[in-house]
Amino acid sequence: MADIESLIQKVQSYNPEADVDLIRRAFDYAYEAHKDQIRISGEPYITHPLATAEILADLEMDNVSIAAALLHDVVEDQDFSIDDIRKNFGDEIAGLVDGVTKLALADFDVGEENLEEPEDAPKKKKTAEFRRSAENLRKIFLAMARDLRVMVIKLADRLHNMSTLDNVSREQQIKVSRETKQIYCPLAHRLGIWKIKWELEDYAFKYLEPEAYADISDKVNRHRNDREEELAEAVDMMQRHLAKDGIEAHIQARQKHLWSIYQKIKREEVEFSEIYDLSAIRVIVNRVGDCYHALGLVHDLWMPIPERFSDYIAKPKSNMYQSLHTKVIGPRGEPLEVQIRTWDMHRVADFGVAAHWQYKERVHGGDEFERKLSWLRQQLFDWQSDSIDAGEFLHSVINDLFTDQVFVFTPRGDVIDLPAGSTPVDFAYRIHSDVGNKCVGAKVNGRIVQLTYKFNNGDIVEIISRSNSQPSRDWLSFVKTSHAKNRIKSYYRKLYFGDSVIKGRDMLERELERIGQDAHHLKTADLNSVAKQLNLHNEEDLLAAVGYGHVTPLTVINKLKLPTFPKAEAIVIEAPKSTTGKKGLAVTLDGVKNLMISRAKCCAPLPGEDVVGYISRGKGVVLHSAACPNAAVFKLHEPERLIEINWVEAAGDSYSTDIKIKAMDRLGLLNDITAVFSESKINITGAKIKSLTDKTANIDLTVDVTDIRALNDVITKLNSISDVLVIDRVSGHMSSKVR
C-alpha cells in the first residue's frame, strides 16, 4: 500500500508542476476524518481513499481529481458536509466529491429477478430498493454529464473495493460483483478506460463464477512459458524488421485477460486448447503515418488472415479508441493479433476519457477532445431527463448502454454509438430532438434508405428533415433506443398537454370529494410545492402528470397539507367466509339478522372504498360508492335511508369490476397486460379488444378482485408498461381514473 509521499512522487513523475500542497492538505483532511475508522480487513480506513487516488495517478489524472479521490468518502462516512469541503477546497473539488459520494453496496443490483413487480411484502421491499437504486444511478449520471471525472473517480473507488472483496461475506461478494459487471464494466468500456475495465471484469468473474475462473487461470498459467517464448520470438523478429526500414517503435506483448478468454470459449463453443490467440502484440510508434508503414511491414513479415483487419484510426470507436488491428499467422504457424498505434492513441486506449484531464493533454488538443466528449455528455443528459419514473429510467439505461452496440458516423466524421438494430430515426433523435421530430428520410453511405433500415458498423448517416413534418406513431414499432421512444411519446403528450392539465385537475377534485375534502385545497402555491417535491417544474406540469397517469391523485393529495376531522363511528360490515361476495352479503345489522347487503350496479364499489349504505324497499341495504351520483341524490332527498358503513373484505371473496385500457398498439401488448394479472393472481372473466386506425388499442376487461387495494396495485403495475396510455375503472354509467 502506497503512502502519501509515494503518491506525490508518482504524480510529480508525470506532472512536475503538480500542486503538491493541495494533495497534502486533502490527505491530512481525510486522515483526520477517518482516523477512528477501520476497514473490514483490519486496515486503517485511510488506506482506501489513498489507494483510490493512486489508481488515478496511474491514469495520470489532474490534481483536482487526486484530491477529490482522497476526500470522496469524508461526507458519506463522517460528520462533514459538502459545504465544509467547498469552504476548504473550493467549488470544483466539492462538486466532484458530491457526485462521487459513496453509494450503498448493491445500489445498482439490476438482475432480471429485480425487474419484476412484487407479489408480497419482501418483494415490495426489493422493488423499493430497486427504485432507490435507479434514483442513485440517475444522480451519478447527471453528475457525470456535468463532469466525467466523477465516473473516473468512482471507477477507481470500485476497483480498489473489488481488490479487497475477499474480506466480506460470500453474499456480499456476489452482490457487489454483479453490480460491477452490470454497471461499472460497461461504463468503463463506454468511457474507454480499458486499464480499469479488464481488471473489474476479471474480479467480477472471480467472485461470480469461482470454479470457471480457477480453471481458466490454471490453464493460462500452465501455458504461460510456451506462450512467452513465442511472443518473445515474434517481438524480436518484428523489432528487427521495423528497424531495417527506419521505423522507431516500442513493442509490447499483451496477455488477454481471463474474462475475455472465458467469453470466447463460450461464444465459439470451443475448448481452451483450441484457442490460439491468447496474446497480442502492440506496436507503438511516433506518428500516424508510421502506423500504416508498420502495418505494411507486419504483413510483409507474416501472412495476414483475410477479413481480420480493422482500421480504428480512420474510423475511431465512440469512446475515442484508435488503433490498427490485424491478425496474422505468427512465427510458429498460429494466429497472432497485432495492434498498431501512436503514443497519443495508446494513452487514450488505456485511459479513455481520463486522458482529457491528464497533465500533458491539457497542453494541446483539448478542444478536439472536448468536442468528442460532447456526444457522451448529451446522451447522459438524455438518459436522466427522458424518464419521470425511476424504474423506466433504469430500463432505458440497461437497454441503451448495456446492449451490443453498432458504430455509425455523421457526415463530419463524429462517431455515434447506438444499440444494435438501431435505425435512422434513432440516429436523428440522438443528434437532437428537433432533428428527430422533423426527420422525413435518411441517406446511408450516400444512398437513400427507408427509416426502418438497421445500421451496420461504419455506416455514414445523413438525416433528411423538413420544418413542417412531425413524428409518426408508426415509428414506435421499429425504433430501438429508449430515448427515441420517449421523445416520440413526449411529442404526442405535448399535443394534448392542455387536455391533460384539465383532466388531472378533475381527477384531483374527484379524489378530494371522495375523501370528504373540498377542492379549494388545490391552491397554486400548494401544487407548485408538491410539483417541486416530485421533480416537476410547476402546477401545470403536475396536473398534466396526473392526467397522463404518471402521478396518482392520491400521491399529490398525501403531500398536500389537508385538515383532518374526527371520523364518525361507522357500522363495520364483514362478510362471512362462506359467502362468494358476488350474489350478496348476509350480515347482522342493528339487531336484524341475515339482512341482505348488495353492491349497487351503478358504481360497483369494492371493499376498502368509502361507501354508504342505502336502505332500499325490499332489497335490504345497497352499498354505493361515496362518490356515486346516485348516493348524492339519496343524500338530498332521502337522507334518513343512508347509513355510514365501513366495508371490510372477507378472506377468499372476490368482486367483479370493469377497467378500460388505452394503449399504443403493438405485437405482444395483450400478452404483457395479461401477464400482470396472472402475476397478481387476478382472474380475467371478460375481455374486449379493438385496434384503432391511429395505432392505439382499446382493451375492456372484467376482472375479479378482493378489494380496492388489489385493484389499485394491478393498475399501478399496468402503468409501468411503457405503451399503456390511460387506465379507467368503469362501473355502470360511471367512469373514473383509478390509482
Q: pLDDT (tens digit, 9 = 90+) per residue, 714-732?
A: 887 887 787 787 888 876 4
Residue 665, domain CATH: 3.30.70.260
Q: What is the structure's pLDDT at 109? A: 41
Q: Are residues 212 and 229 in the same domain?
A: no
Domain count, the chain: 6
Q: Does residue 189 form part of some domain?
A: yes
Q: Do 707 and 606 contact (CB within 8 A), yes or no? A: yes
Is there a single domain that holds both residue 633 and residue 672? no
**Residue 593 sits in the same domain as residue 673:** no
pLDDT at 1: 45
Same-domain status, 185 and 271: no
Cβ neighbours, 10 Å, residue 594: 9
Q: What is the largest CA-CA distance in the chain?
A: 111
- Asked whether residue 487 is assigned to any structural domain, the reply reads no
DSSP 3-state of 490: helix
Q: Taking each helix axis as running N to C, give the angle between helix 149-163 and helix 170-179, from 0 to 180 degrees, rounded to the nearest 10.
A: 150
Answer yes or no: do 181 and 231 share one domain: no
The answer on 632 and 535 residing in a single domain is no
Ranges in the chain, pLDDT < 50: 1, 102-125, 358-366, 387-388, 390, 565-572, 574-584, 586-594, 732-739
Question: Minimal CA–CA distance to 429: which of 420, 437, 441, 421?
Answer: 437
Domain boundary among 183, 216, 249: 216
Q: What is the CATH number of the domain that holds 466?
A: 3.10.20.30
Within a 10 A sphere around the Cβ of 474, how many other Cβ atoms? Answer: 12
Residue 380 lies in a domain: no
Integer CA distances (angstroms), 456 to 35, 459, 462, 464, 648, in order: 55, 6, 14, 19, 60
CATH code where residue 310 lies: 3.30.460.10
Q: Does residue 359 lie in a domain region?
A: no
168 lies in some domain: yes
Please tell me whether residues 190 and 50 are part of one structural domain: yes
User: Do residues 521 and 586 share a domain?
Assistant: no
Q: Are residues 231 and 160 in the same domain?
A: no
Which one of the listed residues 5, 28, 32, 76 is annotated catalytic?
76
Residue 360's contacts (CB-CB under 8 Å, 6 or more residues apart) are 14, 60
CA–CA separation, 318 vs 401, rounded Å? Answer: 12
Rg (CA), the chain: 32
- Show the cell assigned to 673: 397486460
- Same domain assignment for residues 81 and 138: yes
Looking at residue 640, what is its pLDDT? 78
Cβ neighbours of residue 677 closer than 8 Å, sequence gap 6 or more: 683, 684, 703, 714
Evaluate whether residue 387 is within a structural domain. Answer: no
Residues 624 and 665 in one domain: no
Is 694 designated active site? no
Where residue 134 sits, what CATH number does that domain have?
A: 1.10.3210.10
Nearest to 662 by CA among 730, 725, 614, 579: 725
Final residue of a structural domain among 601, 628, 648? 648
| Cα separation, 537 vs 530, whole angstroms | 10
Distance CA 464, CA 431 (A): 13
Angle between helices 497-514 and 539-548 (to 10 degrees): 80
* DSSP labels, 397-418: HHHHHSS-EEEEE-TT--EEEE
pLDDT at 220: 80
Q: Which of 532, 559, 586 is the last residue of a domain?
A: 559
pLDDT at 102: 47
Asked, for residue 379, whether it belongs to a domain, the answer is no
pLDDT of residue 39: 85
How far apart are the C-alpha atoms of 461 and 442, rounded to whole Å?
Answer: 7
Rounded-to-integer distance, Cα 558 and Cα 250, Å: 67
Pairing assessment for the beta strands 734-737 and 642-648 based on DSSP bridges: unpaired
Same domain? For 182 and 228 the reply is no
- Give the residue ranges of DSSP H helices in 402-467: 424-431, 433-437
Rounded CA separation 246/290 (Å): 10
Q: Is 216 helix (H, G, I), strand (E, B) or coil?
A: helix
The x, y and z cell numbers of residue 591, run together, are 339487531
**Which parts of 314-365 fold into alpha helices (H)?**
343-351
Q: Which of 77, 311, 344, 513 is catalytic?
A: 77
Main-chain dihedrals φ then ψ at residue 653, nearest 5 degrees: -80, 150
What are the beta bridge partners of residue 615?
621
- Structural domain range at position 513: 496-559
SS (H, E, C) 364-387: CCHHHHHHHHHHHHHHHHHHHHHC
Q: Is residue 384 part of a domain?
A: no
Rounded CA-CA distance 150/65 in Å is 8
Distance, in Å, from the CA atom of 635 to the CA atom of 612, rounded to the nearest integer, reads 10
**How far apart are the C-alpha atoms of 65 and 19, rounded to whole Å?**
12
Known active-site residue 76: yes
- What is the crossing angle of helices 288-301 and 224-244, to 10°? 110
